[in-house]
Chains A and B, each alone.
Chain A
Amino acid sequence: MSSLFFHCLTFTALLLALFLILDNRHDSALEENDLTTQEISTDSFYDLQEKINSMLPILIGSILIGIVFAVLLQEWLARESWTYRIFDFIMVILAGIPSVFYGLICIYYFIFKSGRVSYLTHSLTVVLLTMPITIQSTQYAVKSVDVSIREAVYALGVKKSRAITQHVIPHAFSGIMSGVYTAVSRSFFVAGLILVTFAWIQTAHSRDPFNIPKNAYVFLIAALLCSLGASFLNRKTVPNVLSSFVL
């Protein structure tokens, strides 16, 4: 029940965040109170906003593909095979790289090289940011399902595909969702970071460095909520989450 509650809570937060982002597209960022409009090009800011919003389908797609890929990797590929080892090694490396590094890549391509690179390049940066962490956490979640459950199911003559969709994935659901929240949190954080960086560059001579677009706050708060959601799913208890958050 508690797991369901936190799923609902985080999804509500996500939906709220997305609603606010889309709702505020045309008025929030560049109101006079938010930014000194003399120092920022309205068109370029909307342009950046559009580019970030257009990454939403890529984000959802990369997460879904990541989950499917991880399940296939974990369940259908023999663990001793070279293919499995190579994929596993690549995912460990990519997921282990701190998100700040990907954030810098995103800032570079979304702000400094924005007009000179294609939609594909932007998409690839988002895929790199989200897919490895989704794949790795899904792999761990699927791997951690008790082998006795699989045995009990296979001993009844259930097909592998059915066993995985009806038994393995439901048992691994919390772990998978934890990875999804982490991936979404990473991408929201980087989106917020891009907006903040852009605003700081544009308002370099402004006296107030915290005078940044509302949308950036929305992204950062959504990232924080998703991160908390992932922690709740990982650690299950409120004191554990709070202590990890404080520490």
Chain B
Amino acid sequence: MQSQEAQPILSIERLNVWYGKKQILKDLTIDIYPKQVTAFIGPSKCGKTAFVRCLNRLNDMQHDFRYKGNIHFDGKDINDPKTKSTDIAQKIGMIFPKPIPLQRSIYEDVAYSARIRGIKQPERLGHIVERSLSSAQLWDEAAENLDASPRILSISQQQRLCIARALAANPEIIIFDEPCEQLDAAETPKLEAIIQNLKNDYTIIFVTNKRRQAARVSDVAGFLYSGELVEYGQTEQIFTNPKDERTENYVTGRLG
């Protein structure tokens, strides 16, 4: 974790989440610090995705979603009635397991997020598209096909296109929710390298159930089990010297 002077960009206090009558998260309290990769690991159905969807208010889409607790982003309560969910979603971007191109061309897909921010000038849009595609390491592969449909891209390229689209929205935090789930082993290191580069400019929250990947990519890690945050600390400590027996069982492969 970062030094005591650094202010957390996200503070989660006693977060409880229910989908219908089922409690998904129990009393989660975490501080997430800027410009580092924070990974959340745990077996499937332990509440990782439910947790990160609370951070950008994507859970608002769920009709049976209920929560209790506070999430502060830059000191402001994100669930305050005065806070618009669209503003939060723009500042906290999200990459999903399955890439979903939204527009008819690669250029339009990336420019779409910038247009949502109100940017209309073609030169500025072009610059944003180029910068975002470069950050997502797709510029070299797509520069000559910007008007082509995103469907011509491979799954890995489409995932990088989604990263570029998220970057074009100018977020402060980017959530990666199992981004390598659909990728083959050869493409995974490329995406991990992108995440490592992005942490210089953005705060990264990374959700995965691949233990080794979390160990490679993250600076800080949290282990979730049955909706509880069992352990949270430096990645090295979590993987080499866990304090809780359940964490040890998970990282050594005896659990989950």
Do A and B bind?
Answer: yes
Chain A residues in the interface with B (C-beta under 8 A): 78-80, 147-159, 167
Query: Which of A149, A159, A167 is the one whose CB lies under 8 Å from B86?
Result: A159
| Inter-chain contact A153/B102, CB cutoff 8 Å | yes
| Inter-chain contact A156/B116, CB cutoff 8 Å | yes
Decide: A155 near B63, CB < 8 A? Known: A148-B96, A167-B102: no
Q: Which residues of B contact A156 (CB under 8 A)?
A: 89-90, 93, 112-113, 116, 165-166, 169
- How many of B's residues come within 8 Å of A, CB to CB? 25
Docked CA distance A155–B162 (Å) = 11
Docked CA distance A149–B109 (Å) = 13
| Inter-chain contact A150/B165, CB cutoff 8 Å | no
Query: Which of A80, A155, A167 is the one whose CB lies under 8 Å from B89?
Result: A155
Docked CA distance A225–B113 (Å) = 42
| Inter-chain contact B63/A79, CB cutoff 8 Å | yes
Q: Which of B55-72 contact A (CB under 8 A)?
A: 56, 58, 61, 63-64
Smallest Cβ distance from A90 to chain B, in angstroms? 20
| Inter-chain contact A157/B61, CB cutoff 8 Å | no
Interface of B is mostly: helix
Decide: A151 near B93, CB < 8 A? Known: A79-B63, A156-B169, A157-B86: no
Docked CA distance A222–B202 (Å) = 59
| Inter-chain contact B93/A152, CB cutoff 8 Å | no
Decide: A152 near B58, CB < 8 A? Known: A79-B63, A157-B86: no
| Inter-chain contact B169/A154, CB cutoff 8 Å | no
| Inter-chain contact A154/B63, CB cutoff 8 Å | no
| Inter-chain contact A148/B100, CB cutoff 8 Å | yes
Scan B66-105; emit 1 where CB is below 8 A from any A CB, else 0: 0000000000000000000111111101101010101000
| Inter-chain contact B63/A80, CB cutoff 8 Å | yes
Q: Which residues of A contact B58 (CB under 8 A)?
A: 151, 154-155
| Inter-chain contact B102/A155, CB cutoff 8 Å | no
